[in-house]
């Protein structure tokens, strides 16, 4: 059974565009030739008129046998197995569909040249939902799946603007202060840095702060080029942020010495990108994980990855929230308030919406939100977490397990720094203007691993 991924008002329901995407994907121009292209991949021939089928598809979601077989045929072209109950339909931009296809099929459907097309056209396809059983086993949703699908962008912005959630604003203010500091100005101004790597997209405002600062510091330097790489596992978050940065610089001067490059990649497995992000002249790279994102992920995998593609003298800037000196009761009250908003719950429910559909849970948002609870305590993963860490956990009781949909961790400062030292990153500078939110700059002290 196929399920629509997001049938609510935020979804992209322009079926006309999807049929256009199918034409482009298969290199066909008419309903009849599209149908012929797909037919070869369908598991059984249809009696009905394909043209009619496709014209109906233009008007609304696929319904009935005919559409279902047609979609399965499309999925076969994409190299995605479509006949297990663990697959369901999602809407994804053409480019991510293309990138996800097996290499031999990528040749069949050309990568479009125009940027505009990449952003506009969408196609429905089946996505492997088998992760769910892994998540149940680990009792934790893998954060790399949190932001799949277009509506996650809107959900993220709504969550960040939830009434109780003040972190985003606070992080931006403090980042603004950080880039005014002498150590930062010194680092950027003496030609030592060739690359800045942003780990996790999200709010373009933070990029604006960093880019504007780099521009201010380097504007009068000649022959200076800094690569500014933005890395995110979610295509939609990445390009939304990238587009937003472009918009910001339409209204003010572009940074003169900076080249901005988005990379659709997993930052817990960054090694394949090492030679793209490291400057060729051997100058330093500054890795940055801002906005508290470190608190959403497995720190061990994260630091292993950064260690594998950094070298002696590289920097790592981390923004995180700390709980030293705060009573457990205050921590709990605060975190429950911060993470109890509707935006946050909708965001957290994203990865299991297909599963909830399958389980027959009411699709009404309000009903689904009621199933999510905020608990505060140690993180779900006990094997490698940083001692003393407390997490806000958005959880749901499902299939006999308490599944953690989203985890946001708060740390003890000294334990946090000791953990980084274990990965050869030693504290280089820290601002103490706020006891809770801190920007910590670490420096790699050992030679690169070869």
Residues lying near ligand SAM in the complex (CB under 6 A): 143-144, 147, 156, 160, 167-168, 200-202, 231-234, 237, 266-268, 291-293, 296-297
**Nearest approach, Cβ of 86 to ligand SAM (angstroms)?**
22
CB atoms within 10 A of CB 260: 19
**Nearest approach, Cβ of 386 to ligand SAM (angstroms)?**
16
Closest CA to 97 of 148, 54, 142: 148
**Nearest approach, Cβ of 48 to ligand SAM (angstroms)?**
41
**Nearest approach, Cβ of 184 to ligand SAM (angstroms)?**
21
Judge contact between 218 and 224, C-beta under 8 A. Answer: yes
Judge contact between 82 and 75, C-beta under 8 A. Answer: yes
**Nearest approach, Cβ of 168 to ligand SAM (angstroms)?**
5
Nearer to ligand SAM, 67 or 150 (CB): 150
Nearer to ligand SAM, 73 or 149 (CB): 149
Q: What are phi and psi of 442, to 5 degrees?
A: -110, 155
- The rounded distance, in Å, linking the Cα atoms of 298 and 429 is 24
CB atoms within 10 A of CB 23: 18
Query: What is the SS3 string spanning 270-336?
Result: CHHHHHHHCCCCCCEEEEEECCCHHHHCCHHHHHHHHHHCCCCCCEEEEEEEECCCCCHHHHHHHHH
Nearer to ligand SAM, 301 or 401 (CB): 301
**Nearest approach, Cβ of 27 to ligand SAM (angstroms)?**
32
Nearer to ligand SAM, 71 or 165 (CB): 165
Nearer to ligand SAM, 75 or 195 (CB): 195
Residue sitting closest to ligand SAM (CB): 200
Nearer to ligand SAM, 23 or 437 (CB): 437
Q: What six digits make up the tokens of 215?
A: 């521009």
432's CB contacts (< 8 A; 6+ apart) are 438
């Amino acid at each position: 059974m196929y399920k629509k991924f997001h049938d609510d008002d935020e979804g992209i329901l322009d079926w006309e565009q999807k049929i256009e995407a199918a034409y482009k994907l298969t290199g066909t121009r008419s309903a009849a030739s599209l149908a012929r292209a797909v037919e070869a991949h369908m598991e059984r021939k249809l009696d009905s008129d394909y043209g009619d089928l496709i014209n109906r598809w233009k008007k609304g979601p696929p319904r009935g046998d005919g559409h279902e077989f047609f979609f399965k045929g499309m999925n076969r072209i994409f190299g995605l197995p479509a006949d297990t109950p663990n697959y369901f339909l999602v809407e994804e931009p053409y480019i991510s569909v293309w990138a996800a296809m097996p290499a031999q099929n990528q040749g069949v459907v050309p990568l479009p040249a125009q940027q505009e097309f990449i952003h506009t056209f969408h196609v429905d396809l089946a996505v492997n939902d088998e992760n769910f059983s892994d998540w149940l086993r680990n009792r934790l949703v893998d954060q790399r799946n949190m932001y799949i699908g277009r509506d996650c962008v809107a959900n993220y912005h709504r969550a960040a603007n939830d009434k109780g959630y003040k972190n985003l604003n606070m992080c931006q203010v403090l980042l603004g202060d950080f880039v005014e500091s002498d150590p930062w100005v010194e680092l950027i101004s003496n030609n030592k840095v060739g690359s800045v790597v942003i780990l996790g997209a999200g709010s373009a405002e933070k990029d604006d702060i960093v880019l504007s600062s780099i521009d201010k510091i380097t504007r009068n330097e000649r022959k200076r080029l800094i690569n500014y790489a933005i890395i995110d596992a979610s295509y939609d978050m990445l390009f939304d942020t990238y587009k937003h940065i472009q918009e910001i610089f339409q209204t003010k001067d572009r940074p003169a010495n900076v080249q901005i490059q988005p990379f659709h990649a997993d930052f817990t497995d960054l090694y394949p990108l090492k030679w793209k992000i490291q400057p060729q002249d051997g100058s330093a790279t500054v890795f940055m994980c801002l906005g508290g994102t470190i608190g959403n992920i497995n720190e061990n995998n994260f630091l292993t990855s950064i260690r594998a593609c950094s070298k002696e003298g590289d920097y790592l800037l981390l923004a995180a929230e700390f709980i030293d000196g705060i009573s457990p009761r205050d921590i709990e009250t605060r975190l429950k308030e911060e993470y109890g908003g509707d935006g946050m719950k909708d965001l957290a429910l994203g990865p299991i919406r297909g599963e909830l559909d399958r389980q027959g849970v009411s699709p009404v948002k309000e009903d689904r939100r009621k199933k999510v609870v905020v608990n505060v305590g140690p993180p779900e993963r006990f094997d490698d977490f940083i001692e003393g860490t407390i997490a806000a956990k958005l959880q749901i009781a499902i299939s006999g397990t308490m599944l953690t949909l989203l985890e946001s961790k708060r740390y003890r400062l000294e334990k946090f720094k000791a953990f980084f030292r274990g990965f050869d990153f030693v504290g280089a500078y820290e601002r103490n203007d706020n006891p809770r939110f801190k920007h910590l700059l670490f420096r790699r002290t050992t030679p690169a691993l070869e």
